[in-house]
Amino acid sequence: MISELHPHRALGVLVGAALTLWCFALTGALLWRGFTQPIDLPALGLYLTATVFFALGCLFGYWTYSCLTLKYFLDRNGLIIHWGDIRQVVPMDRIERLVPGRELPAPKVTGVSWLGHHVGHGPVEGLGDAIFYATHGSHEELLYVVTPEQTYAISVADEVQFTEQLQGHQKLGQVVSLPQVTERHSVAALPFWHDTLAQILALAVIAGFVVMLGYVFQQYPGVPEKFAVQGFGDKSDLLSIPITGLGLLAVSLVLGFMLHALDRAAGYVLFLAGIGTQIVLLSAAIITLNQ
């Protein structure tokens, strides 16, 4: 029989939702301010800041969703901690003991940590480094699951009930031998998150677009309204260059991200192509504006 245990998640979800909404509200406010400004470098600063807050909002949204899905599964084979797209598998025969958090000093968690939601790593006196998947408000609400290889910090609603269920399952013995591993599913399982080169190339594509966009925005205020260059009639036609760059940026990142999951080399090639297109567009902008 599998026991499904839910920690108290309401506070963590509310705080996470508030942080998410705050980031998206700032994104909207910055974009609105940018749309009302003339096209120049200060306006670009507003757009870039809005992009940063939008990315933060997406991260907080994912972490809040993960907090909402945090649960612990316990059966005779082991303990499984479920958080978002990540599962920590702890075999029953590896669990040595349980240590209440009230018996130890308050730990410092490094990772995704806010009021009512703490996921990450942290040193625990007497136990070494621990992995936290908890929603505690106080360290006294923590329960440490100790194995020879790793310590896990969780927060269960009823510590006594959890202990009794764990001991009962241990007496029954394992039916299936589980590996002690971290399992990643869906987006979290994509190899991109563990490929430093792919991440550098993706950032280089973004940097190339930002440089090209910055050059156009810097030069734009000094360009006459009637811009007599082949292919361009009015000054506003110059914006077709960064608009094209934005579209190619999206295509490069999305397709590169997807192809990388199937073939790393193909992903690298697409990211490199994205860098090349941004360089070509920057060159085109420089040549056009200096004619």
pLDDT tens readout for residues 189-222? 889 989 999 999 999 999 999 999 999 999 888 7
How confident is the prediction along the chain (291 residues), in pLDDT tens digits per residue? 678 889 999 999 999 999 999 999 999 999 999 999 888 888 999 999 999 999 999 999 999 999 999 999 999 999 999 999 999 999 999 999 999 999 999 999 999 999 999 999 999 998 999 999 999 989 999 999 999 999 999 999 889 889 999 999 888 888 888 899 999 988 888 899 899 999 999 999 999 999 999 999 998 887 776 665 555 566 777 888 899 999 999 999 999 999 999 999 999 999 999 999 999 999 988 988 776
Do 206 and 170 lie in a common domain?
no
Pairing status of strand 128-134 against strand 151-154: parallel
With a CB cutoff of 8 Å and minimum separation 6, the contacts of 121 are 109, 110, 111, 129, 130, 131, 132
Do 8 and 121 lie in a common domain?
yes
Domain count, the chain: 2
Q: In what order do the strands lie in the sheet with 110-114?
A: 97-100, 143-146, 151-154, 128-134, 117-124, 110-114
Last-in-domain residue among 147, 182, 217: 182
* pLDDT at residue 210, as a whole number: 95
* pLDDT at residue 228, as a whole number: 55
Do 146 and 2 lie in a common domain?
yes
Do 79 and 59 lie in a common domain?
yes
Last-in-domain residue among 133, 152, 182: 182
Do 160 and 288 lie in a common domain?
no
Do 255 and 287 lie in a common domain?
yes
Do 137 and 19 lie in a common domain?
yes
Do 37 and 128 lie in a common domain?
yes
Q: Domain range holding 196?
A: 190-291
